[in-house]
Structure 1
Amino acid sequence: MILVIAGCSQDGDAEIEHVTTLDIAEPAYAPAAIEQAEMVAESRYAPGVPSAGMPSDLFINRDENRERYSGKDVSAIRIAANEPVSTFSVDVDTGAYANTRRFLTSGALPPESAVRTEELINYFRYDYPRPTDRSKPFSVTLDAAASPWNPAARLVRIGLRGYDLPRAERPAANLVFLVDVSGSMNDRDKLPLVKQALSGLAREISPQDKVSIVTYAGTTGVLLEPSSNPAEIRAALAQLQSGGSTAGAAGLDLAYAMAKKGFIKGGVNRVILATDGDFNVGIYDTDALIQKIEKQRDSGVTLTTLGFGTGNYNEAMMEQIANHGNGNYAYIDTPMEARKVLRDEMSSTLFTIAKDVKIQIEFNPSVVSQYRLIGYENRALREEDFANDAVDAGDIGAGHQVTAIYEVIPAGAKGWVSDRRYQAAAKTTPGVHASEAAFVQLRYKLPDGEKSRLLQYRLPASALNTRQAPRGDFAFAASVAAYGQKLRGDTLLAGYSWDAVEGLAGRQDEYLRQEYLALVETAASLN
């Protein structure tokens, strides 16, 4: 099946039409893709005229845009002799990718603060090996290649893949759908899409699972007591209507109370919040909400946030409270994304196989002179946090994958930072670990554990001797990394063209990867 997506943006008085052709190999995606195309087509409106789907006036009347982001600066270069250790929490969120796609599809570049490169990379699946030992909940892959945009540098990739959880082995789930029905949700890409997304998840529940629905606007209420009947759940969702202000904090309180009331020991107990994040009644300060969420997570109830809509979207709050709620964050911009997050990836969305997962890599200064971690700016941890089990970190769900990419300068090569005046006398000489480029450690806890387990790996120095560019999946991951960094305004990729980004990805047959190539072309046309 061939799908043609047509949209337009405006540049002054000129109307610029964007046409994208995608070959959909997966028939199951076709209905959602057609509906997605219709939503994109509806964005062809004059300035100031609201669209029923993705309003173009969001990007033209910028004074009216109240979207909120809290992106951090691009990671700085580190000198291995001074700072050999890099520590961060894993991130399996993918919301930044879908939100970035929403901007590009509507004919505008995303704000740099809305782009988190690690979430763009982790949106896709890669060919990491399946875990072979269930005592270790994920496999670990280490590899290296020449940097496509800097001949002096190398890319080091760390890849994790969680074990898949067969349906018969899934624990019972106690889910509370917390739905924002305030007046701000009265757009097609908000409450109607929420209904569609959560109805899809309802179809996936088993008889051992139960779902309750809590709503909030100016007040809160329980729309559905715990039910295991998918038809009953979908019927309750169909009743939802929007109107009123947004008492989000009160809604969270009631949802957590419902989750505790139906708590399943040894099962999944999760609140799933669907909103645009525009809280305006009661507590709405992000820091105060985080404190509230952190108090709740110790009870064993986790939080997933699903973001919807445009114009007043509070992504800064949505992403952060999910992180602190031991859950995950996704942005739902299309029916296809709803299917991907809540049906195709339901196991990884709901069923945690490892929690508080931290990665620490120590570079050998005699082999690596400089390095930087691409992305993960808001996931950085202090070195001492790595072995401290009291420090919270990211979780990995069944089948989840995590990819981290470092760009490193081998010792002796020209780096981003020139040698300092007195550095030569202090240079490290090769020692007993001269054959190692880096020492990689991972800590994680089992879902019901309180004490972390440690995994250790070594990256041989010989891995950095390669001049071979990334291939296959590594090349695609590197392309997405470059795409994210260019959208972030990373000056170290300023000379790497959009054509090169697209070429690095190579020819793709899978729909989502084809769509990615189309987004690269759109970004190039908007720069």
Structure 2
Amino acid sequence: MPAPWNDASRLMHIGIKGFELDHSEVPPANLVFLIDTSGSMDQSNKLPLLIRSFKLLLSALAPDDRVAIVTYAGSAGVVLEPTPVSERSKILDRLERLYAGGSTAGGDGIRLAYRLAEQHMVSDGINRVILATDGDFNVGITDVDELEEFISRKRSSGVFLSVLGFGMDNYNDDLMQHLAQNGNGNAAYIDSISEARKVFVEQVTSTLVPIAKDVKIQVEFNSSTVSEYRLIGYETRMLEREDFRNDKVDAGEVGAGHTVTAIYELTLANTDAGHIPPSRYQSTESELSSNFDDEFAFLKIRYKLPDAHSSTLVTQPVTVANYFDTVNTAPRDVRFATAVAAFGELLRGGRYTGDYGYKEVIALANDALGDDRFGYRREFIQLVRIAQTAEYLNDLLPE
């Protein structure tokens, strides 16, 4: 569809979704909570919110699922041996006893958590360590490279890793993403009980139940119809081109019902609207490319089933039949995703968005609200308004 911030460019929206599971189809779970109890967690939006969040997760688990609790720093060690969720009062009691205090040099927490998970492995089930922290990743392995290597080795045992961030002070988002990716898991930032409900109740299967691993997306653009392209975001998840077919290269995990969205901005061929001038030595259209004049691109997706070692390839051409002449005629979810992408572009300086600002983002998002059952889209709009106000106040400051 046309890019709302540039009449001369187009947006290509790619969305994939893992299949949904009925509650009765969810496999049994063996979860180990690895909880940061250092002094920095002693704030209302950290350890207290973490405890409330894990209580929500307990409500979404089956009675036979098992939960263990390991802490590092402060109250360090095994707080709860693997315990069935049916013993809810015992689990809640251990959670309520957690306190924050002390430094972050908290013993060998990560190794202990994985050891518990491996000792109580559930065949054909969910085996996962859930690390919850405010960004102090001193979990017993202080060297970041060594920590990533340890987590990478452990994923081959069938134990995956999820990382949850709480609080704003020293939260290390980049490291969180790398650790989760190395552990064939996912990462989430939880700043409210509403966000906790989203992760642990509404999206619990996509958070905990992997249906595919090493999922890779690659797009080949048709030079006869597209002269330029750029991927919006995903800087921390980029792969080399040759890694796409290499099944030894790790990539992302997709859970049941999990959605992944990627947006490219394109400049069509045979126009002078691009950011890069034509090359003197650019090859002319080949006879082969003329056979695909109705295609913008060729989409390729590779994935492995959770227990597989080789990948499956899925392909799909992107043709003129997929094109929407105006933004307003595009699907509602695509329009809302575009508003989110535009907001991200503005927060990074608006290099490509021209005069398109927060006001236009709010209008686009409002128009694409839809049902918004849990209010997440309205919450996004409120974030944009906060950014708009902050920019206005900043403009009032003296030079």
Q: TM-score, normalised by structure 2?
A: 0.91
Corresponding residue to 2:91 among 233, 245, 263: 233
RMSD, aligned α-carbons = 1.8
Contact between 1:273 and 1:303, CA under 8 Å: does it hold in 2?
A: yes
For residue 312 of structure 2, what is the aligned residue in structure 1? 453
Residue in structure 1 matched with residue 389 of structure 2 by the alignment: 525
Is the Cα contact below 8 Å between 1:181 and 1:242 reproduced in 2? Answer: yes
Q: Distance in 2 between matches of 1:316 and 1:415?
A: 34
String of CA shifts for 1:152-182, please: whole Å, max 9, x gaps: 1111111111111111111110000111111
1:301 aligns with 2:159: yes
Equivalence for 2:108: 250
Aligned to 2:11: 155
- Answer yes or no: is the 8 Å Cα contact 1:322–1:329 preserved in 2: yes
1:357 maps to 2:215 = yes
Distance verdict in 2 for CA 1:460–1:409, change over 3 Å? same
1:492 is matched with: 352
CA distance in structure 2 between the aligned counterparts of 1:297 and 1:281, rounded to whole angstroms = 17
Partner of residue 395, structure 2? none
Cross-structure match for 2:54: 198
- 1:525 Cα offset (Å): 1.2
For this pair of structures, how many residues does the alignment match? 382
For residues 444 and 372 of structure 1, the distance between their equivalents in structure 2, rounded to whole angstroms, comes to 23
2:385 maps to amino acid: E
Q: Summarize the Cα distance change of 1:525–1:224 in structure 2 as closer, same or farther, 3 Å threshold.
A: same
Q: CA deviation at 1:463?
A: 4.2
Shift of 1:230: 2.1
User: In structure 2, what is the Cα distance between the partners aligned to 1:249 and 1:413?
Assistant: 61
In structure 2, C-alpha distance between the alignment counterparts of 1:280 and 1:451, rounded to whole Å: 34
Distance 1:219 1:518, change over 3 A: closer
2:342 match: 482
Q: Distance in 2 between matches of 1:420 and 1:407?
A: 18
Q: Which of 119, 123, 145 in structure 2 is aligned with 1:265?
A: 123
| CA–CA distance in structure 2, aligned partners of residues 517 and 414 of structure 1 | 35
2:54 counterpart letter in structure 1: L
Using the TM superposition, give the Cα deviation of residue 382 of structure 1 relative to its aligned residue in structure 2, in angstroms: 1.1
- 1:423, CA displacement in angstroms? 3.9
- Return the alpha-carbon distance in structure 1 between the equivalents of residues 157 and 141 of structure 2: 21
CA drift at 1:300: 0.7
Alpha-carbon spacing, 1:347–1:463, altered in 2? closer, same or farther (3 Å): closer
Q: CA deviation at 1:218?
A: 5.6
Contact 1:443–1:452, Cα closer than 8 Å, also in 2: yes
Contact 1:203/1:230, CA 8 A, preserved across alignment: no
The secondary structure found in structure 1 opposite 2:306 is coil
* CA drift at 1:235: 1.4
CA–CA distance in structure 2, aligned partners of residues 456 and 294 of structure 1: 29
1:310 match: secondary structure: coil
CA distance in 2, matches of 1:418, 1:446: 40
Name the counterpart of 1:174. 30
Aligned-pair distance for 1:467? 4.6
Contiguous gaps of at least 5 residues in structure 2: 392-399
Partner AA of 1:258 in structure 2 = L
Give, in angstroms, the shift of residue 343 of structure 1: 1.5
Shift of 1:468: 4.8
- Tell me the alpha carbon deviations over residues 104-132 of structure 1, each in whole angstroms, 9 at most, x when there is no partner: xxxxxxxxxxxxxxxxxxxxxxxxxxxxx
Unaligned runs of 5+ in 1: 1-144
Q: Per-residue CA shift, 1:71-108, capped at 9, x if unaligned? A: xxxxxxxxxxxxxxxxxxxxxxxxxxxxxxxxxxxxxx
Residues 255 and 468 of structure 1: CA distance in aligned 2, closer, same or farther (over 3 Å): closer
Specify the code of the residue in structure 1 equivalent to 2:198. K
**CA offset at residue 473 of structure 1?**
1.8
Q: Secondary structure at the match of 1:317?
A: helix
The 5 Å alignment of 1:413-424 reads 413-420=271-278, 422-423=280-281
Q: Which runs of at least 4 in structure 1 moved beyond 6 Å after TM superposition?
A: none
Amino acid in structure 1 at the alignment position of 2:381: L
What secondary structure does 1:291 align onto?
A: helix
Aligned to 1:442: 301
Offset at residue 432 of structure 1 (A): 2.3
Deviation at 1:461, TM superposition (A): 4.0
Give the equivalent residue in structure 2 for 1:185: 41
1:326-475 superposed matches below 5 A: 326-420=184-278, 422-423=280-281, 426-429=283-286, 430-461=289-320, 463=322, 466-469=325-328, 470-475=330-335
Q: Give the one of 286, 297, 310 matched to 2:144.
A: 286
Question: Which whole-Å CA distance do the structure 1 matches of 2:144 and 2:227 have between them?
Answer: 39
Alpha-carbon offset, residue 281 of structure 1: 7.5
Query: CA offset at residue 494 of structure 1?
Result: 3.9
Shift of 1:504: 1.3
How far does residue 420 in structure 1 lie from its aligned partner after superposition?
3.9
**Where in structure 2 are the equivalents of 1:506-525 lying within 5 Å?**
506-507=366-367, 508=369, 510=372, 511-525=375-389
Counterparts of 2:305 and 2:49, CA distance in 1: 34
1:248 positional shift: 5.4
